[in-house]
Amino acid sequence: MDNATLIAVASIVTAGLTTGIGCMFPALSEGKSISTALSSIAQQPDAAPTITRTLFVGLAMIESTAIYCFVVSMILIFANPFWNFVIK
């Protein structure tokens, strides 16, 4: 197996793992945070606006992790910086 094939295989496997793990765990944490927020609102209905605002900020932070993982995987597939070391 030559160097170009090895870099291509490693990039594709890494991109797949990055997308898989990087989207699975943020989805689980978003579900947990929504569940916790709903139970908090059920216990304290007067604090619903504050809980909702804090929930949306937290969800945006969690979702940005998944987006960063997706961007890294797209860079590895389409604009791989390691090709410069192989192609001369």
| pLDDT tens per residue across span 7-26 | 888 889 999 999 999 999 99
Residue 28: per-residue pLDDT: 95
Residue 38: per-residue pLDDT: 96
CATH 1.20.20.10 fits 3-82, yes or no: yes
Domain parsing of the chain, residue ranges: 3-82
% pLDDT > 70, the chain: 99
pLDDT score of 80 more than 90: no
pLDDT score of 77 more than 80: yes
3-state secondary structure the chain: CCHHHHHHHHHHHHHHHHHHHHHHHHHHHHHHHHHHHHHHHHHCHHHHHHHHHHHHHHHHHHHHHHHHHHHHHHHHHHCCCCHHHHCC
Residue 52: per-residue pLDDT: 96
Model's pTM, two decimal places?
0.76
